[in-house]
Homo-oligomer: A and B are copies of this chain.
Amino acid sequence: MNFRSGCPIASALDIVGDKWSLVIIRSMVMGATSYSDFLKTPEKIATNILAERLRRLELAGLILQAQARRGSIRGTYALTPKGAGLIPALQALGQWGEQNIPGRWKCPDRFNAARPEDFPR
């Protein structure tokens, strides 16, 4: 990874500062685990972008592919503690969106109650 600077904020954005990464992680906090879960999402991510982002997030250590059933290459995705560490930032963004953009949905309680500790290992 090559970072624009040593700033922790700019560097965080070098990793998840695109249009989709945090949307994917949001979905995982809400319980999504499979490729098709992510596609069901109302934001309608394109399949090539989704596949590329899952690869990138895994490489960055934010998510990992758990072997679902033996013999299967493809599995289900789970947040790592590192990925779950972004939950507070997501919640802050959600708060901001609710309060500053008209007509947004409310973040479900399950989302606001989520804590990084809920995603160990």
The quantity of this chain's copies bound in the complex is 2
In the bound assembly, the distance between CA atoms of A95 and B91 in angstroms comes to: 14
Q: A13-B22, A17-B17, A22-B13 are in contact. Are A8 and B94 (CB under 8 A)?
A: yes
The SS class assigned to the A binding surface is: helix
Q: A92 at interface (Cβ–Cβ under 8 A)?
A: yes
Given known pairs A19-B17, A85-B96, A92-B92, the reply for A26 and B11 (CB within 8 Å) is: no
Cα distance, A85 to B98, chains bound together (Å): 11
A87-121 with Cβ < 8 A to chain B: 88-101, 103-107
A residues engaging B (CB < 8 A)?
Answer: 3-15, 17-19, 22-23, 26, 41-44, 82, 85-86, 88-101, 103-107
